Amino acid sequence: MIKKLPAKWDETWDVVIVGSGFAGLAAAAEAAGKGAKVVVLEKMPTYGGNSIINGGVYAAWDSKYHYRQKLNLGDDSPRQHVEDTLKGGDFYNIPELVQIMADGAADALNWMIDEGGARVRETVTRAGGHTAYRTHSAVAGVGREYTEALRKIAEKRGAKTALNSEVTWIWRKDADPKSPVLGVQVKRGRRTLNIKAAKALILASGGFSRDIKMRMAHNPRLVPAFGCTNQPGATGEMIRFAQAIGADTLQMNFIQLYPFAEPETSILDTPAVYPFNGPGYGIVYVNKLGKRFVNELERRDVCAFAQINLGANMKPTWSIFNRAMVLKMGGSYEEVDAGLKKGRFIQADSIREMAGKLGIPADALVKTIEDHNRYIEQGKDPDFNKSITKVMIPLVEGPFYSVAQWPAVHHCMGGVRISPTAQVIDVFGAVIPKLYAAGEVAGGVHGSNRLGSNAIPDAVSFGRVAGTNAARERA
């Protein structure tokens, strides 16, 4: 559907960006740094989208601090990161896009540290589906650490953000391959404005996990009964507007469940990040029978469906860890204390006591943990074939902690089709002039299943590519 173009423009900017998460802010910083006049349009009353509430875990083979090397946690490389990401996505990923994420990850992290003041904790973890210790944890424990860094860089370079500004249409004369995108229609309070994008429009509007109708249209398995970890604005209208002016989409059915959300509210709070960060240090997942049900180093889809397949009457499952693991897995004692106060973490001095507190058969839980301790000692997990590493900690010394977990709808791997230059491709395979996309709104980086902690490097790296290229367009 192509609508009649506006007769006049209310505002003109060189680069107009939809969405103020990692991708939008990184794009704004780069475009403004190249001298473009930039505005970020955000429909919500606060900035940051899913990015600001995110768990702050960031996959990169290296950083300026070289923690993996200093802590003797084995080898890694961008190549290995690419291979893990492709395998984790069942090779549905577009390899050129994966390469850009992996190559850009360390540089983007260092950029946010050096220019934006982002801080990371002195450890790296090995999370499900990754074969290396490469996941960095933000000091703040949430994505705000990076959104604030990006916001500062973008603002320092002159980019502006307009909140409560909902984009309600993309203006393009027609779907001819030579026809550029011209601007957007915006609802701001009671006003409807038309904003011209003289150089380019960048879509950084995130995924559609909160849009139950849209997600079920693509993946009918994700019925409304599933909770969702996302902020309320994670709806997919920008993808539909992009399609209406000719954009292609791909892999829209690939929607990820986060396996470890809070079981009743589906919130992904700080305690819910511990099960994700723990496997490389020996965290154990158990069910109501006190038994393990999956290899803890498995990918998210495997962990999520291992729980769902237990049956709804087996909700929740738990992660069990001890104090010795906390700092290594990117946690902090303050977070543990706060989680205990809220009742999110449960503490016990023995595994038997923990079983009592969780209402799990004590003999079964004790046996499971003893078996797992022996597997760590022997370097072999005959139950689930987990790859045991020398830094895994047996659950011998207390205090022990547990956190309840259950899957919730989390991340859209599919979205609009982009080129390695972050330009949006139309349904006939041609670039749509002056239209870019980056972050969760774009598909193809993660294939059928995103590896946890890959979304931040994806969004920031592609945001940078989109911003840089958009600023180079001719006005």
Ligand X SMILES: Cc1cc2nc3c(=O)[nH]c(=O)nc-3n(C[C@H](O)[C@H](O)[C@H](O)COP(=O)(O)OP(=O)(O)OC[C@H]3O[C@@H](n4cnc5c(N)ncnc54)[C@H](O)[C@@H]3O)c2cc1C
Give the residue from 89, 132, 135, 102 showing the smallest Cα distance to 389.
132
Query: Would you state the torsion angle of the CA atoms of residues 90, 96, 99, 105, taken in this order, to the nearest 10 degrees?
Result: -110
Applying CB under 6 A, what is the total number of residues that bind ligand X?
A: 41
Closest approach of ligand X to the CB of residue 320, in Å: 22
- Binding to ligand X, residues 350-379 (CB under 6 A): none
Instruction: Select from 31-39, 292-300, 421-429, 452-460 the region that touches ligand X (CB under 6 A).
Output: 452-460
Instruction: Give the pairing type, strands 181-188 and 191-203.
Output: antiparallel
> Which residue among 97, 102, 112, 167 contacts ligand X (CB under 6 A)?
167
CA 104/CA 457 separation, integer angstroms: 7
| Token output for 28 | 């704004």
Judged by CB under 6 A, does residue 23 bind ligand X? yes
Closer residue to ligand X, CB minimum distance, 290 or 439 = 439
CA 238/CA 165 separation, integer angstroms: 13
Judged by CB under 6 A, does residue 183 bind ligand X? no
- Per the rule left: phi > 0, alpha: psi between -120 and 50, beta: everything else, 298 is beta
Instruction: Select from 96-104, 225-233, 385-393, 465-473 the region that touches ligand X (CB under 6 A).
Output: 225-233
Rounded to 5 degrees, what angle do the CA atoms 62, 63, 69 make? Answer: 55
Instruction: Give the pairing type, strands 191-203 and 11-18.
Output: parallel
Q: Which residues are catalytic?
A: 300
Judged by CB under 6 A, does residue 278 bind ligand X? no
Judged by CB under 6 A, does residue 229 bind ligand X? yes
Closest approach of ligand X to the CB of residue 70, in Å: 23
Give the residue from 140, 150, 147 showing the smallest Cα distance to 46.
147
Report yes or no: 58 and 138 within 8 Å, Cβ to Cβ. Answer: yes
CA 454/CA 459 separation, integer angstroms: 9
Closest approach of ligand X to the CB of residue 210, in Å: 9
Closer residue to ligand X, CB minimum distance, 47 or 375 = 47
In the bound complex, which residue of the shown chain has the CB atom lying closest to ligand X?
Answer: 21
Judged by CB under 6 A, does residue 56 bind ligand X? yes
Instruction: Select from 43-51, 126-134, 246-254, 293-301 the region that touches ligand X (CB under 6 A).
Output: 43-51
> Which residue among 78, 88, 183, 206 contacts ligand X (CB under 6 A)?
206
> Which residue among 22, 171, 345, 401 contacts ligand X (CB under 6 A)?
22
- Binding to ligand X, residues 432-451 (CB under 6 A): 439-441
User: CB neighbours (10 Å) of residue 309?
Assistant: 10
Query: Is residue 265 exposed (0-12), middle (13-18) or buried (19+ Cβ within 10 Å)?
Result: exposed
Judged by CB under 6 A, does residue 453 bind ligand X? yes
Interface residues toward ligand X, by CB under 6 A: 18-24, 41-44, 49-51, 53-57, 143, 166-167, 204-206, 229-230, 233-234, 237-238, 268, 411, 439-441, 453-456, 459
